[in-house]
Structure 1
Amino acid sequence: MAIHHGHRILPTCIFLFCGLVCINLAMAPEVFADTRISGSLKSYLVLQDDINISGRTILENQTQLQNGIRVIFDHVQEHYALEVHYELSSVLRRLSTNDISLSTMPVQREAYRITDRDGTLASQADWAIFGNLDRANIKWQRDWGDLTVGRQPITFGAARIINPTDVFLPFNHQTLNTEYRIGVDAIRLQRPLGTLSELDIGVILGPDADPNVSAAYMQVMVHAAGNDLSMTIAQFSNHELLGVGTQSAIGQLGFWFEVAAVSGDDSYMRLSTGVDYAFNEDWLFMVETHFNSAGAESANDYGQIRGSAPFRRGEVYLSGRRYLIPVLSWHLSPLAAISVQSIINLSDRSAFTSLTATRNVTQNGHMDVGIQWFTGDTSNFTPTFNLQAGSEFGDSPTVVFGSARWYF
């Protein structure tokens, strides 16, 4: 993408400077015995097709260069550990709309952070720079367990693809950079209950630590007779969640099951279950089914439910009710792999499919190329210019991407 305007020099210079800093850190990653600085450089070139409904262009095609630098500081002592992650990212774009974001970018929400002053550091019509203090926590390690205070990732779930109990800022299905889960501000106690068993209790704080927008949870994980069992209870945004899950084996098949019921102003239930099978050391197949009672049976109702609380908070991002999700992975070599995944809406017969190829080019360098495409009935305008929805995925534009990642 050519740079024609002087104001683009700013993001370019910032990233060149940060890149030089990262190279220096890579040459000497250990500051002293118990402290380490590491991180990554990532760049995504994303091309998104236009969106047309009834011959009208709703959104023109877009091209973006998404760059990111994450610096990780870890300090470990006998009884405590300190962790800080800071991510600086930029977006250079060529498009004709005012929206700098694409659906492939992680969504940064203010929920479950006491304060988040970084956000957009600088922006113009065709570029923006973002800052994100994604981790900042201290962990006390004792015989009775670990106590972690500060910004940290918190994830739940036994399922492989869609986790019904995972309600604290999960990634959506189109996000490309999913290596690090978005950090939340929490106080967390993890106490071992035996071999591979644990009690996990936490409080997650929202903006200004307001109890009305904060959350609390307790999860018990038990390993028994070769099975991993979990039970989760949580309270968030005037809602209560009760969930259970298991991971096990049935012969040569891996098996998982997870269900969560949420009660409150918007009550709903979600369930995921599936199996995987390794044909050999190179080929792996898995299939998961997902039920989402927060969704709708008819495409005409998708617009209404997308404005409901579960969608606004982010724990639900699929609009339909019943899904089939097959995945096939092929390891061409120890350094290269190809995977294909589809999310099929069984109600309206639309589908989201992604094909990704990954290769290690150096010890610390990786490259990816891929495509996301969508099938299904498209929407149309009636003679009175009312929008008649076609399907969940039918209107979504094709996305082609390539990425380079380097770790230090």
Structure 2
Amino acid sequence: MRAAAVLLLCIVFAVPCPAADDFNFATRQIVNFSDYPKAFERAGLLPGNEYALQSLTRVIHHRRSDRYRIKIELELTSLYSTSEQQNAISAGWQVAGSRSGFKAFKTDSKHSYTDRWRSSSQLERCEIAFSAGELDIQLGRQPVSFGTSHFVPVLDVLAPFNPGYLDSTYKPGVDALRIRKTAGTTGEMELIAAAARDSEDSAMIGRYRDTFSGFDVEALAGRFRQRNFVGIGWEGERRRINVWGEAALFERNSSDGRHFGGFSDDLAGSWSVGFEKSIAKHWRAGIACLHQDFGARKVGDLTQAYASTPFRQGWMQLAASDYLVVSSNREIGPLSSVNINAMINLVDNSTLWQPVWKISTSDESDISFFAWFNTGRSPALRPTGLELRSEFGAFASGIGMLYSHFY
């Protein structure tokens, strides 16, 4: 990717075309304290608790002209943790970001790495956009999202956020070619080719978007990570109730692991449906449900679900088959809001709660105070090893603060 990026920039900057250049900086600091279930500490897998400080800086360059647009972002990250075990640093979904396997070219560098400290850099954006006749083309490392962007994703298979992630502006880039064309008066057709490190895992996905009877509808079909899939997403309003949903069918592979159930031996279905309504002035509440055939139907199968291919690849974030999600969003002033999201595992009845208080401190900055805590049976250490007795009961609890600023 470094060589490709250098070649791309040399070609573009050598073209005699008037252009405007902008340089910006964005920073984000996260402080959090996590308390892990005691069974992990007794098993020697995780510490009892952990304090972590994460700092992220992005150097952003935009170059615009009448013929093209370039965006380059270099991400500089440093992380300190009181834990000496580096695999214990991830401190909850809200600050863990997302995993993307669609970076075909290695562009990250580790500058320092110790038991408690590490710093690194990553070229997170390197894209050029231009028009060719009726086609709009984007080429390079860029963010790619599918679906309705609600709490629990089904269609966003390339680089999905974990449910409840706090800062969706920092989505990892995907090495992709995107070709778009208008269809009719309100529709759009798009072809996305995303390259993976292993070429066999690369993706080719077609997307069609349009508006029908007040609903925004998105249809997908294609192939990613050596499996075919089709999906549809929708969102609109009826009688002042916001209705949204996503549904997809995925081809099963022999490497997926245990077959936990579903309507077919060859296909697996996933779907989510949600409703959101204003229940008072500046206060909205919502409820949604999620089902996934790849998920475990029994508590004893959770460990095998975690080891399954969809979960390890990162486009499946929850291990059970069925969930209920409840959300509340209330503005408590012109510059402040309080959100509470709760996920209920309908297989083992464990819950994960994620309250967030967000305050806008200026036009370019904001601060969030957040927490996450759970209910459910904690893991137990048996002579045969660690036993998971519920999904969210095995999660850490914690509190934290996030501050972001754009220069």
Q: What TM-score comes out, normalization by structure 2 length?
A: 0.87
Corresponding residue for 1:249?
Answer: 237
Corresponding residue for 1:81?
Answer: 69
Which stretch of structure 1 is more off in the superposition, 105-114 or 65-74? Answer: 105-114
Corresponding residue for 2:392?
Answer: 393
Corresponding residue for 2:325?
Answer: 325
Matches within 5 A, 1:229-268: 229-265=217-253, 266=256, 267-268=267-268
d(CA) in 2 for partners of 1:392 and 1:366?
32
d(CA) in 1 for partners of 2:294 and 2:148?
20
Q: Summarize deviations over 1:244-298 as a string: whole Å, max 9, x none.
A: 1221222110111210010030442110101110234410111111001111011
Work out whether 1:193 is the aligned partner of 2:183.
yes
Corresponding residue for 2:271?
Answer: 271
d(CA) in 1 for partners of 2:226 and 2:364?
45
Structure 1 residues 124 and 365, CA gap change in structure 2 (3 angstroms): same
Structure 1 residues 108 and 173, CA gap change in structure 2 (3 angstroms): closer
Corresponding residue for 1:135?
Answer: 125
Corresponding residue for 2:37?
Answer: 51
Of 209, 216, 220, which aligns to 1:228?
216
Deviation at 1:113, TM superposition (A): 1.3
The residue matched to 1:304 in structure 2 has which SS?
helix
Structure 1: gaps (5+ residues): 1-31
The residue matched to 1:59 in structure 2 has which SS?
coil
Sequence identity (%):
22
Amino acid at match of 2:70: L
d(CA) in 2 for partners of 1:135 and 1:297?
40
2:22/2:63 contact within 8 Å kept: yes
The residue matched to 1:34 in structure 2 has which SS?
strand
Matches within 5 A, 1:4-83: 34-53=20-39, 56=42, 58-83=46-71
Corresponding residue for 1:378?
Answer: 378
1:204/1:215 contact within 8 Å kept: yes
Structure 1 residues 274 and 212, CA gap change in structure 2 (3 angstroms): same
Work out whether 1:163 is the aligned partner of 2:149.
no
d(CA) in 1 for partners of 2:177 and 2:27?
30
Matches within 5 A, 1:86-235: 86-99=74-87, 101-104=89-92, 105-106=95-96, 109=99, 111-158=101-148, 160-173=150-163, 175-207=165-197, 210-235=198-223
Amino acid at match of 1:183: G
Amino acid at match of 1:252: R
Deviation at 1:144, TM superposition (A): 0.9
Corresponding residue for 1:341?
Answer: 341
d(CA) in 2 for partners of 1:48 and 1:195?
51
d(CA) in 2 for partners of 1:211 and 1:365?
40
RMSD (Å) for aligned C-alpha atoms: 2.0
Corresponding residue for 2:3?
Answer: none
Structure 2: gaps (5+ residues): 1-17, 257-266
Q: Summarize deviations over 1:176-220 as a string: whole Å, max 9, x none.
A: 44322110101110111134421010110111xx53121100011
Q: Summarize deviations over 1:349-402 as a string: whole Å, max 9, x none.
A: 0011101101112232211111111111122234x3443321001021212101
2:42/2:381 contact within 8 Å kept: no
2:41/2:47 contact within 8 Å kept: no
Structure 1 residues 45 and 152, CA gap change in structure 2 (3 angstroms): same
1:60/1:96 contact within 8 Å kept: no
The residue matched to 1:318 in structure 2 has which SS?
coil
d(CA) in 1 for partners of 2:393 and 2:301?
15
1:191/1:200 contact within 8 Å kept: yes
d(CA) in 2 for partners of 1:371 and 1:314?
23
Which stretch of structure 1 is more off in the superposition, 301-310 or 336-345? Answer: 301-310
Structure 1 residues 221 and 324, CA gap change in structure 2 (3 angstroms): same
Deviation at 1:407, TM superposition (A): 1.0
2:19/2:63 contact within 8 Å kept: no
Deviation at 1:100, TM superposition (A): 6.0
Structure 1 residues 110 and 403, CA gap change in structure 2 (3 angstroms): closer
The residue matched to 2:307 in structure 1 has which SS?
coil
d(CA) in 1 for partners of 2:143 and 2:98?
14
Deviation at 1:165, TM superposition (A): 1.3
Aligned residues: 374
1:85/1:133 contact within 8 Å kept: yes
The residue matched to 2:59 in structure 1 has which SS?
strand
2:81/2:89 contact within 8 Å kept: no
Corresponding residue for 1:407?
Answer: 406
